Structure 1
Amino acid sequence: MQIGQVADRTGLSLRTIRFYEENGLVIPPARSEGGFRLYSDDEVARLETIKRMKPLGFSLEEMQQALTLLADLESGTGDRAQLIDRLQMFHAAAIARVAALREHLAVAEGFAETLVRHLDAGRGEDVAGGPTRRTRPTEGR
C-alpha cells in the first residue's frame, strides 16, 4: 500500500507518516520500482497504535518501547511474563493520562457552558435559556 493510501486509511498526513518513519517507529518493508514507499498491514497497524498513543502524550521513545513490547508479545519473543509486566505499566500510564484528559475536558466544557450563558444573557435570554422578552416578527412589513 502506498503512502497516500495509508494516509487515507489512518487519517494521518503524509508528513506525519514520514516523520514516524524517520524516527524509526515505522519502517516500510519495501519500495516500488518507482521508489514509492510500500506499507504492509503491519505498518498500518503500527501507525494506528501510534495515532492512539499521541493524544496521551507518550514520547517517541515511549511509543517505540510500547510498539516493541506489542511486537514481541505477538511474535512470542522474550520472557512473556516480563513483557506483560512492562505492558501493564504502559496500560496504567495510559489510564492515568486518559483520566487527566477527562478532567481537562470537564474544565473546558465548563468554560464553554459559561460562554453560552453569557451569550444567552447578551441576547436577552434568561439563565434557563428561555427568552426574557419575546418579540414576534411581523409578516409583510
Structure 2
Amino acid sequence: MEGTTGQERFLQIGEAAERANLTQRTLRYYEEKGLLAPPTRMEGGFRLYSPEDMERIERIRQLKELLGFSLAEIKEMLEAEDVRLQIRAGWRADADAGEKAEKIRRAREVTLHQIQLLDQKMAKMTAMRDELAARIKKYDEWLLRYSEAASNEERATPGS
C-alpha cells in the first residue's frame, strides 16, 4: 500500500473478515481463544487488524481447513511459531556461541513439536485412509462374487 499512513494499513473487523472470508464473530472467537492477539483498537474501541494479523489469520485458516487441525492444535502450532519469532527477534549477531546455540536448540525444539503435531495428524489420516481402502477391497470382493453369481444365474436360466 504505497503512499499510505500506518493507520490506513490496518483493516477494521468487517474488512478483515471479508478479506479472510470469515465472519466477524469468527475473528472475535479466535481472539477469545488466544489464537489472535487482541488487535489494536481505534478510538471508540473498533478493532484494527494489521498486515501481520492478517497473515496469522491466513495461517489459522490453512491449519484448520487444509490440515483439519482443531483450534487447540492450531494454538499449539501458533505458539511454537511465536517462540521461533521471539528467538529471531532476540537474535544478536554479537552474542557468544553458547547463547546462539541455546537459541537454535530452542527453535529446533519447537519446530520438532510442530512436526510431531503434523505426524500425529498424518497418522490418523493414514489410518482412516487404510480403513476406507480395506472397505473398498471388501466391496470389490463382494462385487466379484455377486457378478460371478449373476453370470452363472443367467447361464442357468433358459431363454437367456
**Deviation (angstroms), 1:108:** 0.3
**Deviation (angstroms), 1:92:** 0.4
Structure 2: gaps (5+ residues): 1-10, 93-98, 155-160
User: How far apart are the structure 1 equivalents of 2:106 and 2:125?
Assistant: 29
Label 1:59 to 1:48 Cα distance change in 2 as closer, same or farther (>3 A): closer
**Deviation (angstroms), 1:39:** 0.7
Residue identity in the other structure for 1:72: Q
User: How far apart are the structure 2 equivalents of 1:105 and 1:117?
Assistant: 18
Label 1:63 to 1:116 Cα distance change in 2 as closer, same or farther (>3 A): closer
Label 1:86 to 1:59 Cα distance change in 2 as closer, same or farther (>3 A): farther
Residue identity in the other structure for 1:17: L
Query: Percent identity, aligned pairs only?
Result: 25
Label 1:64 to 1:110 Cα distance change in 2 as closer, same or farther (>3 A): closer
Structure 1: gaps (5+ residues): 136-141
**Deviation (angstroms), 1:52:** 5.2
TM-score scaled by length of structure 1: 0.61
**Deviation (angstroms), 1:65:** 4.1
CA root-mean-square deviation: 3.7
Q: Which digits, 9 at most, give the CA deviation of each residue in 1:85-113, with x for residues without a partner? A: 32211110111222222221111011112
Mapped pair 1:91 → 2:111: yes
Which residue of 124, 130, 136 maps to 1:104? Answer: 124
- Report 1:1-141 matches (<5 A): 1-10=11-20, 12-24=22-34, 25-31=36-42, 35-51=45-61, 55=69, 58=73, 60=75, 62=76, 65-73=79-87, 76-77=89-90, 81=100, 82-120=102-140, 125-126=143-144, 132=148, 133=150
- Equivalent pair of 1:29/1:38 in contact (CA under 8 Å): yes
Report the structure, 1 or 2, having the larger helix content.
2
**Deviation (angstroms), 1:29:** 1.4
User: How far apart are the structure 1 equivalents of 2:25 and 2:117?
Assistant: 26
- Equivalent pair of 2:80/2:114 in contact (CA under 8 Å): no
Q: Across the two proteins, how many residue pairs are aligned to each other?
A: 127
User: How far apart are the structure 1 equivalents of 2:77 and 2:123?
Assistant: 23
**Deviation (angstroms), 1:28:** 1.4
Quick check: which has more Rg, 1 or 2? Answer: 2
TM-score scaled by length of structure 2: 0.55
